[in-house]
């Protein structure tokens, strides 16, 4: 075969085109639809009002994550409005024959943690969810992206989406991650480089030696934040690391079927000579642990750096945005990041709540104490991650150090449940968004890696984790 060389993204997209017609978006088939309680009730209501069925309930998986309390699972949810959403999902899942990983189920968890954990997320798939961090699943070489509630209804009804094919963009890394540096530092640095709209309209493919060396957990962290660079999705070609992760997962093929799947999955890579619509190179040579200083994830500096001075920015829009951000964050230009003191630390979210993230943080917390000024919280990404961490004794390490150890959920990443920071409180967070009010009205969020968050909890301020390993 001498077919035109194509990118990983093109291959997967073209395999899913149900209908292509001049003057219309492509109609693409969706292999897996993930559903949670916050963005689905109106979609089911629309479906029910029109008397439509869910076309492929077996391609639909539901869980509760955004609203759920992370304290006591035995008690009823105190918030009546949240309860209504959770109950709506229970009713809708039951009515339409959709599997629901409910509170109390040993597979419940953040939707983007449990999909991979179950082996439901696999190479070459198209995956959607009413949540922008669906890009996480691209770590397996799937096309995975967030959609709105109208499109959730569309997928429930038709198992398809009408969509213009996005453009492709290669993010090519030079060099490798040094000791103490993580996938989170790599992706925060990347967003700082290309900007929060740098990937708009594109599907990114992350490539290079540094990416190949990442675990699946690390790759998920990278792809998770593709949306923070404005990208439609992010992808990483599947390889042995991917296949080893998937082997034996409950929903992955088993035995001979697994070997056959690996043979197919191995063809999912960008051909030599394939063209991307855009290419950016990111050099990792001088990379340091990263800390955000502002109110979007692109406002990021190395931990040895200082709060930037808006006056140094040439573009008036960028200057105005930076000034607003500093005012909200209560920071003075020129302040060394390592002098910024913290009130809270949050380790969790679909970006950094997997077992490896918790191991990294626990490695720093072991035998140390959280600074008395700091309230520190660890929220595992899933009930299964929590159980695995407890089996390894990570919960003891965190508790002994003075961290709170919670049940799984989205928690303080977006503060839809009771886990919020107060006005003016400053939080080092392993989550993905430092937007105004994200963790609570007036709360100030700084994004960091799990190891950096643990080091910050101990020091009560930002500190280079590499000096504490």
Partner 1 sequence: MSATTHGIEPLRRVAGIVAPLDRADVDTDQIIPKQFLKRVERAGYGQFLFNDWRFHPDGSPRTDFVLNQPGYAGAAILAAGRNFGCGSSREHAAWSIADYGVRVVIAPSFADIFESNCYQNGILPLALPEEEVAGVLARAVEHPGYALTVDVEACTVGDAAGWRLGFEIDDFRRRCLLEGLDDIGLTLQLEAEITRFEERAAVRPAGGNR
Q: Which helix (H) or strand (E) holds 344?
A: strand 344-347
Residue number, 400 or 418, with CB nearest to partner 1: 418
Q: The tokens of 226 are what?
A: 């593709």
In this complex, which beta carbon is closest to partner 1, that of residue 85 or of residue 408? 85
Please, what is the minimum distance in Å from the beta carbon of residue 12 to partner 1?
Answer: 9
What's the closest the beta carbon of residue 238 comes to partner 1, in angstroms?
10
Instruction: Tell me the sheet residues that pair with 29.
Output: 160
Report, in angstroms and rounded to the nearest whole number, the Rg of the chain calculated over CA atoms.
Answer: 21
Considering the complex, what minimum distance in angstroms separates the CB of residue 211 from partner 1? 22
User: Shortest Cβ distance from residue 337 to partner 1 (Å)?
Assistant: 22
Comparing CB distances to partner 1, the nearer of 162 and 254 is: 162
In this structure, what DSSP letter does residue 293 have?
-
Which two tokens mark 31? 């292999």
CA angle 225, 231, 237 (to 5 degrees): 75
The H or E element containing residue 428 is: strand 426-429
Q: Which residues of 407-422 are buried (b: 16+ CB within 10 A; e: fewer)?
A: bbbbbbbbbbbebbbe
When the beta carbons of 371 and 429 are compared against partner 1, the nearer one is: 429
Distance CA 469, CA 460 (A): 17
127 phi/psi in degrees, rounded to 5: -135, 130
H/E element holding 168? strand 167-174
Between 285 and 311, whose beta carbon lies closer to partner 1? Answer: 311
Closest approach, Cβ 146 to partner 1, in A, equals 4
Q: Beta partners for 33? A: 60, 128
Q: What is the DSSP letter of 109?
A: B
Q: In the bound complex, what is the minimum distance in angstroms from residue 431's beta carbon to partner 1?
A: 12
Beta bridge partners of 205: 170, 235
For the bound state, the minimum distance from the C-beta of residue 26 to partner 1, rounded and expressed in Å, comes to 11
The pair of three-digit structure tokens given for residue 270, joined into one six-digit string: 């960008």
Alpha helices, DSSP H, located in 337-409: 355-365, 383-392, 394-401
Q: CA angle at residue 324 from 323 to 328, to 5 degrees? A: 120
Identity of the residue, 101 or 145, whose beta carbon is nearer to partner 1 in the bound complex: 145
Q: How far is the CB of 163 from partner 1 (least distance, A)?
A: 8
**C-beta of 50: minimal distance to partner 1 in Å?**
5
State CA 394 to chain mean position distance.
22
Strand order in the sheet with 143-146: 99-101, 60-63, 32-35, 126-129, 143-146
Residue with tokens 């150890």: 405
In angstroms, give the least distance from the CB of 153 to partner 1: 6
Minimum Å distance from CB 195 to partner 1?
Answer: 9
Q: How far is the CB of 173 from partner 1 (least distance, A)?
A: 24
Q: Which residue lies nearer to partner 1 by CB, 131 or 356?
A: 131
* Locus of tokens 């500093």: 326
CA distance 44 to 152: 9
Q: Report the alpha-carbon distance of residue 229 to residue 386 in Å, rounded.
A: 30
- Both tokens of 394, joined, read 């990570």
Number of H helices, E strands in the chain: 15, 19
Q: Residue 167's beta-bridge partner residues? A: 202
Helices 111-118 and 216-224: angle between axes, nearest 10 degrees: 140
């Amino acid at each position: 075969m001498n077919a035109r060389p194509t990118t990983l993204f093109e291959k997967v997209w073209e395999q899913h085109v149900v209908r292509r017609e001049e003057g219309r978006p492509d109609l693409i088939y969706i292999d897996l639809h993930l559903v949670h309680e916050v963005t689905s009730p109106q979609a089911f209501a629309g479906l029910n009002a029109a008397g439509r069925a869910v076309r492929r309930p077996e391609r639909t998986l539901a869980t509760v994550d955004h609203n759920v309390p992370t304290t006591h699972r035995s008690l009823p949810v105190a918030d009546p409005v949240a309860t209504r959403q959770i109950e709506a999902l229970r009713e809708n899942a039951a009515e339409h024959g959709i599997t629901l990983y409910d509170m109390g189920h040993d597979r419940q968890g953040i939707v983007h943690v449990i999909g991979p954990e179950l082996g439901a997320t696999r190479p070459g798939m198209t995956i959607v969810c009413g949540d922008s961090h669906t890009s996480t699943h691209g770590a397996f070489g799937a096309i995975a992206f967030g959609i709105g509630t109208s499109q959730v209804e569309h997928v429930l009804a038709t198992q398809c989406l009408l969509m213009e094919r996005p453009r492709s963009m290669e993010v090519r890394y030079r060099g490798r991650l040094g000791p103490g540096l993580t996938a989170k530092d790599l992706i925060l640095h990347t967003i700082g480089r290309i900007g929060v709209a740098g990937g708009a309209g594109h599907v990114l493919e992350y490539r290079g030696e540094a990416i190949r060396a990442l675990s699946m957990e690390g790759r998920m962290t990278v792809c998770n934040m593709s949306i923070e660079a404005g990208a439609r999705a992010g992808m990483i070609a599947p390889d042995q690391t991917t296949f080893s992760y998937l082997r034996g997962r409950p929903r992955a093929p088993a035995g001979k079927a697994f070997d056959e799947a690996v043979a197919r999955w191995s063809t999912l890579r960008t051909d030599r000579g394939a063209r991307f619509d855009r290419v950016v190179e990111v050099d990792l040579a001088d990379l340091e642990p990263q800390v955000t200083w502002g109110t979007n994830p692109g406002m990021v500096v190395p931990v040895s750096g200082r709060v930037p001075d808006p006056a140094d920015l040439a573009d008036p829009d960028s200057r105005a945005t930076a000034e607003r951000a500093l005012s909200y964050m209560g920071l003075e230009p020129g302040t060394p990041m390592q002098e910024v003191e913290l009130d809270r630390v949050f380790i969790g979210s679909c970006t950094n709540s997997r077992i490896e993230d918790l191991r990294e943080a626990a490695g720093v917390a072991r035998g140390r104490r959280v600074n008395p000024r700091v309230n520190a919280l660890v929220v595992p990404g899933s009930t299964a991650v929590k159980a695995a961490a407890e089996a390894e004794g990570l919960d003891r390490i965190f508790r002994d150090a003075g961290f709170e150890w919670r049940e799984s959920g989205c928690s303080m990443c977006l503060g839809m449940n009771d886990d919020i920071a107060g006005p003016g409180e400053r939080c080092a967070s392993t989550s993905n968004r430092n937007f105004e009010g994200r963790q609570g009205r007036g709360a100030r969020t700084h994004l960091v890696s799990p190891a950096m968050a643990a080091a910050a909890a101990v020091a009560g301020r930002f500190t280079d984790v590499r000096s504490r390993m």
